[in-house]
Structure 1
């Protein structure tokens, strides 16, 4: 990397939110005997203590070094939190048995310590509906295996069943009341219909729905006991008592059920217990943890259990075969391994593929040569992914899906930590005003602005010690957590938004260097006037000021519109120049752009124009350095190009398998657009020519493996305003690298491709992008990277030590002699 002046900034006191819940979607139940399932990866939902929910998608095929990356963030009401998460299948009968459902096939429910259950609209990014528990605070939620009911464990000691069949959410039944809080809840194995031939021959929907019926569920209470309930009568079948200390009540924080009916519990004494559901007696008990067991999950085969909690330790239990002269060959649970991968309390565990509690005859079979993945999260704010193959799989050559090591068993494999992004939907909450040398950072309900001071010729900062000063700290009146923000290049405009309202401020500098914000009061009304009459939101998902700070581009939080706003002067009222609806148009198949259709055509008829538009989220915006071009990219991988000079739509790029993580224009060639993707690949598009240039394809096809296989996915791409020859600077949470964008001799490269196609075994030419590739890894974790000017780079990092120092002390048990 060429020498540049680097501002290494650690003054931005951004603190991510703790992880409080994790959920994977369930798999559709089989209607016949077990069949082997292909390897697919489902959506990962991560709930945070600030009320936000991240929806993460798998970034590759069977193997992906980057694992899951955040695709969309559902912004929670302010203030709120997420305590429980659960997915349900929208229409279980329409899905292939055992196949990983897509986000469109799912419904997502959450609770946050209050009495309301929330259902989320994942395509629009907002709360779809709420319903009161009618029983006080909701302590636990669980969706039944057939995805037609959800059970709530309530403060008043009741279990309430809600019907979610046929896309409804209504109260169905209330179980008998007990004198304790219902802290945890799990459904027992469903019962299959015995007449297999009737299932195979009868195509009636009603018959299909009745193939599986619920039998019982189990709850853990705050009175040192578990209870088994009959689903049909709503009455307690039996009660199982746990251990107590000096008469104090033991809290059963976690329960789960295996396919054979075995009940597993974790409690506040650190005990993990296995119970026989038929006799409701204890089978085995383990003092596995030094403090409360807060969460547990089950291996997809049902032969391994993982538990964790306050003592930060994740413990594995395995079902092993034993033989004795008296009992013959039996199977029993053994505590086989423990690992500490978190620095503070672990609040949530989940496993992919998920365990389906089904009878042995209907168990889903997964490929034995691909290791399942254990996902954990807690107060230390990072998701940890660990390959968790069973010890028996060492006899097979097992694939490690995250490519961390050759070892795949839980005991020996290397885990990897998925870095947190500062902003919602894997955007950056940090924005740089280059000309004004300002750094802005948004938080849940406010923002801060700092000024980076210029250096004197002797290298010393001109004013404040450290070379920076805070110039603004604002608290905002918001209904949800802040979704997006931006600051103009000249430092005169600031925009910030929650789900319902965009707020525009004119920033006025005083003689002493401080900044006073002046609210543009009519701005939300100006935006709403350009939106459909029923729209009540002026909020934005992404903002982009043009380089001359004269225009603001907004992608709306509701409706998937793009608004181009002329800001004028600070005395004039802004006005909307045009609204673009192209991301809503039905010019795609399954949300993918159709090859051969330019995308700049208008709808052919009123019927097409009035058809139900596509719901999407436009999360990435970029403008060219000459202010002519605007690029916008949505979560369905579609990228549109607009001409800001004529305020017209220009073209639609072919869509890619994944949405772009970052898009930016080349300053020296304003028509060249670079798109970076979560799997660390890039694409280069010539906007004026409406094509991918041959030299760009060569670079994209020959990226260094060190880049594409690095574990942290790309977070951003940026150009040095004056760098020649051209190169794009890519950055992730732990790395920086520069990729040269130089034209090559197309004849030589095409000849090289031809030789490779012809099977020539001669040594391969060195790819252009490999020349001088160097990855810088001593900044971490990186929150944002941008250029303040030619050859002047600002790298904003937030050392993990500083973040963890703000947390309460972790659990520590002093051992004698240490």
Structure 2
């Protein structure tokens, strides 16, 4: 197997600044993760933390605060005449999806449309940069802390986002904000070493608490929270965690629990547990415990107290219970959801990865680090031109893949020749000399039937031609790139963001041989812009295998098929609009973006022969379209009238797949069985569906629900499938941390089999050694020797599912590679993998906190 291990793609994720769970009333539970580049990721913990979608950010759009809201109360009950109308209105509020707000240093509050992933509305803070944001408990008012030292309230009830009032101005910027349990007052932490308590009705400060200063420098209060009991908790830049009496404003307890700034804290719903973290990377857990009071310390009741009231025998106090370190750099955000089945404490910061650990079992539990790499591949390959494209935040780069030196090993009698390139071998006189009596010819690429167990996966081939960077495009737009594609003939590059899709023609650079230049097709954008597509970009882009059409999954959930054959005349025609993901039937275009049937398109694939197109959305609707029927209609000139009248053709809309329970993660057509669609799910199950017959394949009906248990238990989701031309009956399923070879000519084998190839090799060696010992014991017994022999290892005896038979193993898993971003085959037994080692990401980060200790 020839493997091109590409580590020259320097993909760098952005740091995590903010986290927010959806309220308890919103279903399902989601987690929003805001990053420094403006991107907002929406994670679903239901199926082992699947990344549903990513809202793209842009220049100067760093997310500093995130809030999910879900209104459940009626703001004006007088608008309803009967109690039945009120009950119906409350049901509608509960059924409505949650709203997502973000704020940052660009001084704007943004509300996001979770379907189109575009900004739905925005409002200026009128106070400069926004450092913090919080919603009241009934989710009708939003409070923000601004650079100018003011707290401002915004009305978000009933779908609004409007300014209400501004509180009195204070010295220093407001860094943290929290609402009281009854929503009557707000607590803020600021940069002037103070914590203030504000009356919401009057907009005035009613209490002020101060923290210590060091060398007369102001202390920054980075985090505050108000517990269910009214106790105020604060974390500051001195590393102190303080507990305050919410009524009197007096300090109850203080803990110098951190070696540097406390940047974030989160409290449990009952107010008896608090988690804090910050620059020193330590995650501390505080508990409220009851302690008994000794008889000597009990105070006698005063004369004013009621007679007969006994003195208290116990009191409560906070203790630092546990601490762990999960991160390598500053922790900037924490989020807590205690209810099962989520039960997750999530943390994130400079080291770009989310860490999830069970909250109720903290610290006696194992954490899970979610991958920071894109869950949808950002790489596309032209196999014929050996070009590879990768998109970054606002840059697109193209490389030409290198060529390896094929080592030829020839054995002819006592004659061995090695280290010849294939060209040198064919041109040498050795070829004619030993071609007639050759005994063995072995190439680095393995034989089509060779199992992974027999592969030499550690060999390295020399490069005749290294990879070459041939093109780099920097987008001038302020918004981040959402999709990109490279055509198979290497002639086209398509790039999209949330409001526009651009097409570029690729040509050879006449001044620099080997490099490429691009020319933007200015007529393309104007050709596809219509009243229904104006202002909409794309979530997904794909070229057909013959590079004659571009398929666009738009942000408004329409699918466009654009003809590129008339590019010389600057003519780009929309051949078809598919609106099935907007809930549109054959003659129905009534639905708008707010309709519950509209959903974000998250996956798309085209068959190798160009006949079938399949798309899937977050409602798990997977549609299949017949592009061959479209070709016939184009040839007959029938598509023009259909576009004018907005009709949909039954022949083009082929079928809808059955709705799977887990969310689907990828759609892929088998390269050598073009009518077979492979659907992978968030549970790591996958199904093979014959779109021509509209049913599951025989293999899938028999085995898809009997996949190996260890394969289903992989935490990393399947990100794609590769197809080796030398092995048309096999597929390679791959995720961030593994690749798995699956032979569709076999069954699934032993469900409890050892899947790890390296581990299975050790098991096989143990079995062989155990077999030798058994045979030796039998020989000794025949000779009358009774020397005790050691028992073979348990794993070699096949106990506890460790020992496996060769005939029972099909799913062969390799964990050899660093975190994977892409995998595909560019030729028989020639595989391209794009790796992004974690150490390559961490070395780009600033130094982590270090505090010297005596004796070190």
Q: CA deviation at 1:103?
A: 9.7
Residue 596 of structure 1 corresponds to which residue in structure 2? none
Contact 1:224 1:243 in 2 (8 A): yes
Q: Does 1:516 align with 2:521?
A: no
Shift in Å, 1:569: 6.8
Cα distance between partner residues in 2 of 1:770 and 1:683: 21
| 1:351-410 per-position Cα deviation (integer Å, ceiling 9, x unaligned) | 113xxxxxxxxxxxx56xx68211000111111001122xxxxxxxxxxxxxxxxxxx21
State the distance in 1 between where 2:224 and 2:467 align.
51
Q: Which residue of 1 aligns with 2:625?
A: 642
Which residue among 386, 392, 397 is the counterpart of 1:443?
392
* 3-state SS of paired residue (1:473): strand
Partners of 2:6 and 2:142 lie apart in 1 by 48
Correspondence for 2:791: none
Q: CA RMSD in A?
A: 2.8
Matched, 1:321 2:290: yes
Partner in structure 2 of residue 202 of structure 1: none
**In 2, Cα distance between the equivalents of 1:287 and 1:217?**
25
Question: TM-score by structure 1 length?
Answer: 0.81
1: CA distance between counterparts of 2:848 and 2:565? 53
Task: Classify the secondary structure of the residue corresponding to 1:505.
Answer: strand
Deviation at 1:580, TM superposition (A): 2.6
The answer to whether residue 739 in structure 2 is matched with residue 736 in structure 1 is: yes
Count residues in correspondence. Answer: 700
Q: How does 1:211-610 map to 2 (within 5 A)?
A: 214-325=183-294, 326-327=297-298, 328-353=313-338, 372-389=343-360, 409-422=361-374, 426-458=375-407, 467-510=466-509, 512-528=513-529, 531=530, 533=531, 535-537=533-535, 539-557=537-555, 559-568=556-565, 571-586=568-583, 602-603=586-587
Change (3 A) 1:780 1:770: farther
CA offsets 1:748-769 (integer angstroms, 9 cap, x no match): xxxxxxxxxxxxxxx9xx9999
Cα separation, 2, equivalents of 1:641 and 1:769:
37
Shift of 1:685: 0.9
Question: 1:207 matched to which residue of 2?
Answer: none
Match of 2:180 among 185, 188, 196: 188
Structure 1, unaligned stretches of length 5 or more?
30-39, 61-66, 191-213, 354-365, 390-408, 588-600, 746-762
Q: Is the CA contact (8 Å cut-off) linking 2:64 and 2:130 kept in structure 1?
A: no
Question: Which whole-Å CA distance do the structure 2 matches of 1:479 and 1:372 have between them?
Answer: 38
Please say if residues 351 and 374 of structure 1, whose CA atoms lie closer than 8 Å, have aligned partners that are also in contact: yes
Find the aligned partners of 1:540 and 1:371 in 2 and give their Cα distance. 32
Deviations 1:152-179 (A, max 9, x none): 1111111111111111111112212111
Q: Does 1:801 pair with 2:798?
A: no
Higher relative contact order (CA 8 A, sep 6+): 1
Tell me the equivalent position of 1:812.
Answer: 850
Structure 1 distance, partners of 2:687, 2:270, is 40
1:294-343 per-position Cα deviation (integer Å, ceiling 9, x unaligned): 10111344221111111111111111221131352222111111111111
Partner SS, residue 500 of structure 1: coil
Decide whether the 8 Å contact of 1:186 with 1:255 is kept in 2.
yes
1:12 aligns with 2:9: yes
2:696 is paired with a residue whose SS is coil
Alignment of 1:697-708 (within 5 A): 697-708=701-712
State how far apart, in whole Å, the 2-side matches of 1:577 and 1:232 are.
56
Equivalent residues of 1:264, 1:273 under 8 A apart: yes
Match of 1:134 in 2: 126
Return 548-557 or 379-388, whichever deviates more.
548-557
Name the SS for the 1:522 alignment partner.
helix
Residues 484 and 497 of structure 1 are in contact (CA less than 8 Å); yes or no, is this contact kept in structure 2? yes
Q: How does 1:112-151 map to 2 (within 5 A)?
A: 112-151=104-143
Contact 2:25–2:94, Cα closer than 8 Å, also in 1 = no
- Evaluate the alpha carbon distance shift between residue 418 and residue 505 of structure 1 in structure 2; reply closer, same or farther with a 3 A threshold: same
| Kept in 2: contact 1:421–1:428 (CA 8 A) | no
Answer whether contact 2:560 2:578 (CA < 8 A) is retained: no
Q: Deviations over 1:490-536 (max 9, x none)?
A: 211111111111111111124721111121111111111xx4x1542
Contact map agreement 1:703 1:767 (CA 8 A) in 2: no
* Maintained 8 Å contact 1:676/1:717: no
Query: Considering only CA atoms, is the larger Rg found in Structure 1 or Structure 2?
Result: 2
Secondary structure at 2:526 match in 1: helix
Structure 1 residue 69: deviation in Å? 1.6
SS at match of 2:704: helix
Distance 1:181 1:417 in 2: 34
Write the distance in 2 (CA, Å) between the matches of 1:322 and 1:132.
Answer: 50
**Alpha-carbon distance between aligned partners in 2 of 1:103 and 1:571, rounded to the nearest angstrom:** 51
CA contact (8 A) 2:71 2:138 kept: no
CA separation in 1, counterparts of 2:73 and 2:713?
36
SS at match of 2:557: coil
Q: 1:777: how far off?
A: 1.0
Unaligned segments of structure 2, at least 5 residues: 75-85, 299-312, 408-418, 424-461, 631-651, 749-800
Which protein has the bigger helix share?
Answer: 2
- Matched with 1:80 is 61
Using the size of structure 2 for normalisation, the TM-score is 0.78
> How many Å separate the matches in 2 of 1:15 and 1:515?
24
Distance in 2 (CA, whole Å) between partners of 1:374 and 1:610 is: 33
- 1:767–1:122 CA distance, 2 compared to 1 (3 A): farther
Secondary structure at 1:646 match in 2: helix
CA-CA distance at 1:608 after TM superposition: 8.4
